[in-house]
Amino acid sequence: MKKVRKDAASALDGLLFDGMTIMSGGFGLCGIPENLITAIRDSGVKDLTVISNNAGVDGFGLGLLLETRQIKKMVSSYVGENKEFERQFLSGELELEFNPQGTLAERCRAGGAGIPGFYTKTGVGTVIAEGKEHKDFDGETYIMETGLVADLSIVKAWKGDEQGNLIYRKTARNFNPMMASAGKATVAEVEEIVPLGALDPDCIQTPGIFVQQIIQGEHEKRIEQRTVREREDA
């Protein structure tokens, strides 16, 4: 099965439809599938539910899909860097299912592992627990969270081979590996596609069996929050 595609648009051909659920890897602006997000915007697909740690920033990442009103609902854990997200949420234009960050990561991992639900103490006694099943274990109260799956997962890796085996680099190994396993279809973009056999098997973090399409892309790699200090000799 040939998985390598020439660009993001061709990799997503036939996979997009209105009302679908998309998992998008990344943490802040680190390890986000920039090219695939842009191709989704250009496709015009709408009424999307997007599962992602965050919603990008204004004018970049998933912020592009918010600007074009293509996202109907976000399932997220951190949304504090996007003014358009804030505006749409407060005006009632955008639905939000808010998750503690570790809970969101585990929901994605559980979905990829075929686990329909699990119990966690995180959120007990808060609004997060409202309407959820409570159960006691050894005298402690836990709430049940459900595993997440998506119609499509889009992920960003450092290197990938022709069969879709992936290696992530440093912080980009965040939500990407678990989301890659939780999509009915997964499309990966990488900085470099290498021949089959070029990757050390011990270093592969997403096996190619989870990946249906792969592209090599150019990546801007923006810094979300740049903090600098004055030179001491200035």
Residue 82 has pLDDT above 90, yes or no: no
* Within a domain: 135: no
Q: How many domains does the chain have?
A: 1
Residue 23 belongs to some domain of the structure: yes
Question: Which range is least confidently modeled, 68-72, 91-95, 170-174?
Answer: 170-174
Confidence band of 234 (pLDDT split at 50, 70, 90): low
Contact criterion met (CB below 8 Å) for 147 and 116 = yes
pLDDT at 231 over 80: no
Contact 55, 73 (CB under 8 A): no
Q: Could you count the other beta carbons within 10 Å of the beta carbon of residue 83?
A: 11
Q: What is the pLDDT of residues 109-155, one digit of tens each?
A: 999 999 999 999 999 999 999 999 999 999 999 999 999 999 999 99
70: in domain: yes
- Assess if residue 83 is contained within a domain: yes
- What mean pLDDT is reported for the chain? 94
Q: In angstroms, rounded to a whole number, what is the distance separating the alpha carbons of residues 59 and 119?
A: 37
Question: Per-residue pLDDT tens for 22-36?
Answer: 999 998 888 999 999
Task: For residue 62, tell me if it sits in a domain.
Answer: yes
Asked whether residue 2 is domain-assigned, the answer is no
Return the pLDDT at 79: 81
Which of 54-58, 128-132, 221-225 is most confident? 128-132
Nearest to residue 183, comparing CAs of 212, 158, 145? Answer: 212
- Tens-digit pLDDT profile for residues 161-196: 999 999 999 988 999 999 999 999 999 999 999 999
pLDDT at 90 exceeding the cut of 90: yes
**Is 167 in contact with 159 (CB distance < 8 Å)?**
yes
**Domain range for residue 94?**
8-116+148-216
Tell me the mean pLDDT in the region 202-209: 97
Query: Cβ atoms within 10 A of the Cβ of 184, count?
Result: 13
Mean pLDDT value across residues 196-213: 97
Check residue 211 and give its pLDDT. Answer: 98
Report the SS3 class of residue 8. Answer: helix
| CATH code for the domain in which residue 153 is found | 3.40.1080.10
User: Is residue 143 situated within a structural domain?
Assistant: no
Does some domain include residue 225? no
Does 80 have pLDDT greater than 80? no
How high is the pLDDT of residue 232?
Answer: 76
Phi and psi at 191, nearest 5°, equal -80, -25
- What is the C-alpha to C-alpha distance for residues 148 and 26, in angstroms, rounded to an integer? 16
